[in-house]
Amino acid sequence: MYIGRIVAFGMTKANKVCAMYRVSSRSFPNRMAVENGGKIAIVPRPGAESDLAKNPYISYNCLRIAGEWAIATNGSQTDPITEKIAMGMPVRDAIALGLLAMDYEKDSLDTPRVVAVAGRISKLGYLGIVRKDGILVREFALEPGVARYISTYEKNAPCDTNVDRDFDAACQDCAAHYVVNGGVFADFEQPVTSAAAMDNGDGFSLATVIC
């Protein structure tokens, strides 16, 4: 099944909190996640820079940290949401405001914007989406061995059916691989690249994968 871009949060069986992002793409597969200055961006692979002229939405910061929170999204909403959370705005409100202000992407598919936020201290997670037909944001309590996700297509609502109940990852690199080929994520087609942030006890450690 092809479900497009995926954002997720989870808690490992050892109670480590993480946030994950995966690019799945049929139109622009020549992309990679790169870490730069404590955040992760999606950029064209070398030689594919001309893709930016075809679609301005394909390059953006996809994962950032604000205090106890790791924020993963599929677009430029990452930055305003992160900045509002860093300023002290409640996470739910920051997600809703960021999604409402940015709206869905005005491309040929009216691509939704999706968000996952994970709190390593509060042990709370949030999923949000803005689609052409509405905006939804939901809070969840993190549970050991459980990952929750939302995607741009098909699995595009923050609900109790978009769940992996056997989630586990020993490190941030393992989490970045898991969202590509672990658990329920292995059933989703066209992986391109991924990113993850995992609680290291003092903050979050970051990792990327190129498929």
Rounded distance between C-alpha atoms, residue 26 and residue 187, angstroms: 16
Token code pair at residue 179 = 């969202």
Please measure the distance between the N-terminal and C-terminal CA atoms of the chain and give it in whole angstroms.
Answer: 17
Q: Which DSSP category does 144 fall into?
A: B
Rounded distance between C-alpha atoms, residue 135 and residue 128, angstroms: 8
Amino acid sitting at position 133:
D
pLDDT digits over 154-196, tens only?
A: 999 999 999 999 999 999 999 999 999 999 999 999 999 999 9
Rounded distance between C-alpha atoms, residue 203 and residue 25, angstroms: 31
Q: Which DSSP category does 203 fall into?
A: S
Q: What is the pTM of this model?
A: 0.97
pLDDT at 70: 98
What mean pLDDT comes out for the span 40-49?
A: 96
pLDDT at 108: 87
